[in-house]
């Protein structure tokens, strides 16, 4: 067994209704609270009211789109101007990633570009950030328990990561009730992202016994629940299973690498206005099939073959399922969930060379169970188009 490490947030609180305890917990951690919010409506209104009732001052910072270098700068200025001593993020992955970055940038010198990989200076975060509470309202990204944030730079046409163990929130609050009102399309995209973030760490070259256990628990839950919750958003058991699957996926990817699906998704999302989960969903079955063929041709004895077989049996529920059955199951699921082709987002073959070059350099691609050739990467894009 190879050496491995596992780290996560200090405290995870999971269950229906736990969101109602947020204000009490937050009041014990800070008084001037930057509320990074990706949603509107009753949840945020009730939270702000309870915070004020406990003598806290919520300072709102709304997140409309995925975080960018410029939006982080504005949020950071808001936090500093109001002398915030706690960051509370409520929303999808964009809001939570924004909150994590503001938290550490509030205490570290310089600007966010100083710390970004690829387009920045890649400096290491040295100082712990402001305390951060992360509360997801989707079941997809697992961002509440990850140590990185994806930040877009329209100027460079890319999305890149800021990574540090100091970005882990102090507390993650996962309440399935917050996901009940998600519309079907968002349920599909985020839910497939959760499933992918269980499949890729399980196949990853950096998988370890702890992440394997999380993936083996999470994959069947997502497989049994995603169709149900797409067709009936009020299915409480399915919503709970998807919230758990998302959490387990976040824990797994934070402690093992991802793969070619996310290797492509980053560059695509940086160059085109495409939802991350939808892009990942479109790529998944194709990446799995190309990986399987490459493994058969070049690494016929690799342990990944058995892992693909295990995934097939977990998603189909059949003990006799073979790896290709898992691929076909994914294809059928994506058809049911109406996942669009990549052409929907303006992607054309003219973009393929640049996308392949950028994907090949991504950190996620390094976790793929086999190194893909340029021709195989082009094939993936062609078939997903």
Confidence of residue 1 (pLDDT cuts 50, 70, 90): low
Distance, CA of 150 to CA of 94 (rounded, Å): 8
Nearest partner of 333 among 258, 181, 179, 223, judged by Cα: 223
Distance, CA of 253 to CA of 201 (rounded, Å): 6
Residue corresponding to tokens 């509470």? 133
Q: What local confidence, expressed as pLDDT, does residue 155 receive?
A: 77
Nearest partner of 76 among 56, 48, 98, 51, judged by Cα: 98
Q: What is the pLDDT of residues 122-134, one digit of tens each?
A: 889 999 999 999 9
> What count of other Cβ atoms lies within 10 Å of the Cβ of residue 183?
8
**Per residue in 252-274, is it b (16+ CB within 10 Å) or e — as a string?**
bbbbbbbbbbbbbbbbbbbbbeb
Nearest partner of 72 among 19, 137, 30, 116, judged by Cα: 116
Q: What local confidence, expressed as pLDDT, does residue 273 receive?
A: 85
**Per residue in 312-328, is it b (16+ CB within 10 Å) or e — as a string?**
bbbbbeeeebebebbbe
What percentage of the chain has pLDDT greater than the value 90?
Answer: 83
Per-state percent for the chain, helix, strand, coil, to nearest 5: 55, 10, 30
Q: Name beta bridge partners: 174.
A: 14
Tokens of 259: 């793969």
Q: What is the pLDDT of residues 174-190, one digit of tens each?
A: 999 999 999 999 999 99
Between 293 and 362, the higher pLDDT residue: 293
Q: What local confidence, expressed as pLDDT, does residue 201 receive?
A: 97
Query: Is the pLDDT reported for residue 141 higher than 80?
Result: yes
Q: What is the pLDDT of residues 87-129, one digit of tens each?
A: 999 999 999 999 999 999 999 999 998 998 777 788 899 999 9
Q: What is the pLDDT of residues 308-330, one digit of tens each?
A: 999 999 999 999 999 999 999 99
Output the pTM of the full model. 0.94
Q: What is the pLDDT of residues 253-287, one digit of tens each?
A: 999 999 999 999 988 988 888 888 889 999 999 99
Q: What local confidence, expressed as pLDDT, does residue 104 receive?
A: 96
Query: Is the pLDDT reported for residue 198 higher than 60?
Result: yes
Q: What is the pLDDT of residues 222-231, one digit of tens each?
A: 999 999 999 9
Q: What local confidence, expressed as pLDDT, does residue 366 receive?
A: 92
> What count of other Cβ atoms lies within 10 Å of the Cβ of residue 164?
19
Taking a C-beta distance cutoff of 8 angstroms, is the pair 89, 135 a contact? yes
All domains of the chain, ordered by start, with CATH? 11-179 (3.40.50.1970), 184-384 (1.20.1090.10)
Taking a C-beta distance cutoff of 8 angstroms, is the pair 237, 224 a contact? no
Residue 314: which H helix or E strand, with range?
A: helix 304-316
Q: What local confidence, expressed as pLDDT, does residue 274 receive?
A: 86
Q: What is the pLDDT of residues 232-261, one digit of tens each?
A: 999 999 999 999 999 999 999 999 999 999
Averaged pLDDT for residues 15-27: 96
Q: Is 178 helix (H, G, I), strand (E, B) or coil?
A: helix
Mean pLDDT of the chain, nearest integer? 94
Averaged pLDDT for residues 334-356: 94
**Per residue in 64-75, is it b (16+ CB within 10 Å) or e — as a string?**
eebbbbebbeeb
Q: What is the pLDDT of residues 43-58, one digit of tens each?
A: 888 999 999 999 999 9
Taking a C-beta distance cutoff of 8 angstroms, is the pair 4, 205 a contact? no
Beta strands in the chain (DSSP E): 11-14, 32-37, 57-62, 86-91, 132-136, 148-153, 158-163, 171-174
């Amino acid at each position: 067994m190879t050496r491995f490490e596992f780290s996560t947030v200090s405290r995870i609180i999971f269950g229906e209704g736990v969101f109602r305890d947020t204000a009490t917990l937050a009041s014990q951690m800070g008084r001037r609270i930057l509320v990074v919010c990706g949603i509107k409506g009753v949840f945020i209104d009730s939270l702000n009211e309870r915070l004020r009732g406990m003598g806290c001052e919520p300072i709102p910072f709304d997140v409309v789109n995925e975080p960018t270098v410029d939006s982080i700068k504005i949020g950071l200025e808001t936090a500093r101007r109001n002398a915030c001593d706690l960051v509370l993020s409520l929303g999808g992955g964009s809001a939570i990633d924004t909150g994590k970055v503001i938290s550490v940038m509030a205490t570290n010198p310089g600007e966010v570009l100083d710390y970004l990989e690829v387009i920045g200076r890649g400096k290491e975060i040295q100082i712990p950030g402001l305390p951060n509470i992360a509360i997801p309202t989707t079941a997809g990204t697992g961002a509440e328990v990850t140590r990185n944030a994806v930040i877009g730079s329209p100027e460079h046409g890319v999305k890149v990561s800021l990574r540090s163990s100091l970005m882990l929130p102090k507390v993650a609050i996962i309440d399935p009730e917050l996901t009940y009102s998600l519309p079907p399309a968002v349920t599909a995209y985020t839910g497939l992202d959760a499933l992918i973030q269980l499949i890729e760490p399980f196949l990853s070259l950096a998988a370890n016994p702890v992440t394997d256990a999380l993936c083996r628990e999470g994959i069947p839950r997502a497989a049994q629940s995603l169709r149900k919750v797409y067709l009936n958003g009020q299915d409480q058991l399915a919503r709970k299973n998807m919230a758990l699957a998302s959490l387990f996926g976040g824990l797994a990817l934070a402690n093992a690498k991802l793969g070619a699906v996310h290797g492509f998704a980053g560059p695509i999302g940086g160059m085109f206005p495409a939802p991350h989960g939808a892009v990942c969903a479109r790529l998944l079955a194709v990446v799995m099939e190309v990986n399987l063929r490459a493994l058969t041709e070049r690494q016929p004895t690799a342990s990944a073959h058995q892992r693909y077989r295990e995934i097939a049996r977990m998603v189909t529920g059949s003990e006799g399922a073979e790896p290709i059955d898992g691929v076909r199951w994914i294809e059928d699921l994506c058809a049911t969930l109406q996942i669009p082709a990549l052409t929907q987002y303006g992607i054309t073959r003219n973009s393929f060379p640049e996308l392949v070059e950028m994907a090949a350099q991504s950190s996620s691609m390094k976790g793929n169970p086999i190194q893909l050739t340029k021709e195989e990467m082009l094939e993936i894009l062609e078939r997903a188009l």
